[in-house]
Chain A
Amino acid sequence: MSGNKHKMRVGDSPWVRRTLIGLTLFLTFILLVVPLFSIFQQAFMKGAEHYFTSLVEADTLHAIGLTLVVAALTVPINLVFGVMLAWAVTRFEFPGRKILMTLLDIPFAMSPVVAGLLYLLLYGNNGWIGSWLYDQDIQLMFAWPGIVMVTVFVTCPFVARELIPLMQQQGREDEEAAVILGASGWQLFRRVTLPNIKWALIYGVILTNARAVGEFGAVSVVSGNIRGETNTLPLHVQLQYEDYQAAAAFASASLLAMIALITLLFKAFVEWRQERSLKIESDKEKQVTQ
């Protein structure tokens, strides 16, 4: 294409361009790349053997397990919640719809620590609901259910936020067409709605999962930091570091970093798939019109 040769706009001095690109690359390097590498460098500080022994330590293994369990519970809960919420606000008109969409952003706007505190005040043993639950012999705070609850809170906007704009843009005509053709509610969702929102949904799940695994602030308030019981991986990293086990802390941290890298790869793949499906469609359209 001839357009590519002339990417520079009229009036852009080459100096401005070089400075901006150079500065961006430099900052990316020192802010993002160097710390990421240093995690692995620190983790292997005492050799590969030490790295692996510190990972298979009982408390670390427990932290890994708990983190995976929390993510495994949080993701499906927010998947269902996100789809329901997106469906409700894009397919129905009801009073309070706009407010609901604003409320959805609370977890993004509020500091996670504050969220953790709110849950602690509400569900803790002296709390409003917590004291009643305590009488029923149910403990949520300082136990894994509390960790799941705050993680669900912190990650609940991701799926809905991905779906709402897409579903708004696609409109309800497809669904109306399906109902007129006789589809039941479930047939409608599985055969028409779900395929239309598939990639956005996967994207939302990836983001939810990444945040659920990495959440620190809210979880640290409600977990109580009981080693081998209520310690998730991010909390465990901090504990180890405070115990002067720097290499072990970085070994645990390297796991989180790897999860992040895998998430990025997966995210790039989903974006590529989304783009490709759009591109194939437009290419074919061109063929037809030619």
Chain B
Amino acid sequence: MSILIENISKHFGQFQALSPLSLNINEGEMIGLLGPSGSGKTTLLRIIAGLEGADTGRIQFGDRDVTNLHVRDRRVGFVFQNYALFRHMTVADNVAFGLEVLPRKERPSATEIKKRVMHLLDMVQLAHLANRFPSQLSGGQKQRIALARALATQPEVLLLDEPFGALDAKVRKELRRWLRGLHDELGFTSVFVTHDQEEALELSDRVVVMSNGHIEQIDQPGALYASPNSRFVFDFLGNVNVFEGRFEEGKWHNGIANIERPNTAEPKDGQLYIRSHEFFVSPSPTDTASLPLRIIAINPIGAEVRLELTPIDWNSNEVWEIDLPHKAFDKNCFEKGQTVYVTPKAGYFFAADAEKPILLNWEH
């Protein structure tokens, strides 16, 4: 079922949790709401569910206006961050709950309920745990039971609040893939909340990036990564180094460091955003740039080696991170404490007065 969100806003006391925002979600789509804590993503999810009322605006499921419909009658599936399994009920009773509280004339017979519960437990591959209590399950198992319980009433909308937040990295990855498979198979519309950019990019059809109660950008994961449209999205997607530059004589300067301006960029002061893998590292400056940095840590991570560096005689608010392929790293034998020069290959330029960035490429 499609979801239409129009001009929804919400405040708690003095705090504006959501500024009026609108969002269209297509039938069968999987949407990730991505943002830091306090960005309003959970509030938006709870408003869609009906757990929270909006101050203004309208919500529509398909053709049905649900703005003033009680949670109970919205018939959405909801998975809580801490699962909220009923601790005094067995796994099977938890999953059956949504069916057992149906009004008598809609309620399936006891044997039918039992059959459907076992089917759901099979689907989440936990049929052997039917008679256990929630406290006897691991985090990943609880998560899958919470999902089975939410799906028992066959909702057309599934909402998930930080669904993998409390799990360890390996289980998280596994469950992510499994949820995506289930979504594609059953065809419900899903909205999930996360603060993990990797999760949002991997799982969603479209990612909605939020900050301070409004939507920063809505895009497919590929497009979002290729062209973040604001400083916030850049910062939030992470793995990016910022060079604050003053423009003078064809170059951006900061202390003793400088970077040459490609012809595509405006000749103005501004910030250069350069992702951690878009660099060369060399023992001396190049024609393009002279950015002296000191290596303070070397961490081999998977296919790459991550260098952490601090500027020498120029300023940056954060430690720089640069990812190098093992080959490039091995060739140069960098050591901790060593001074190196880095040269950008590609990046984005925000002129001081601009909202949107320009894509830059340096030719080498």
Interface residues of A (CB under 8 A from B): 173-174, 176-184, 187, 191-192, 195-196, 281-282, 284-285, 287-289
Contacts and interface: CB of A to CB of B under 8 A. Distances in A.
B51 A187 contact: no
Contacts of B171: none
B80 interface: yes
A182 B136 contact: no
Interface of B: 49-51, 71-72, 74-78, 80, 82, 84-88, 97-98, 101-102, 133, 135-138, 149-150, 152-153
A285 B101 CA distance: 29
Contact of B86 (A174, A284, A287, A288): A174
B87 A181 contact: no
A252 to B, nearest CB: 42
Given A173-B80, A288-B138, 5 more contacts: A174-B86, A176-B71, A182-B102, A195-B86, A289-B138
Given A174-B86, A180-B78, A182-B153, A284 B138 contact: no
A287 B153 CA distance: 32
For B75, B80, B88, B138, which residue has the most chain A Cβ atoms within 10 angstroms?
B88
Given A173-B84, A181-B153, A196-B87, A288 B101 contact: no
Contacts, number: 74
B157 to A, nearest CB: 11
Nearest to B141: A288
Question: Top 7 nearest A-B pairs by Cβ distance?
Answer: A181-B98, A173-B84, A281-B135, A177-B84, A195-B88, A183-B101, A284-B136
Nearest to B46: A176
Contacts of A181: 97-98, 101, 149-150, 152-153
Contacts of A288: 136-138
Nearest to B80: A173
10 contacts: A176-B80, A179-B72, A181-B149, A182-B75, A191-B86, A192-B86, A281-B136, A284-B136, A287-B136, A288-B138
Contacts of A179: 71-72
B145 to A, nearest CB: 12
A182 B101 CA distance: 6
Contacts of B150: 180-181
Contacts of A176: 51, 71, 78, 80, 84
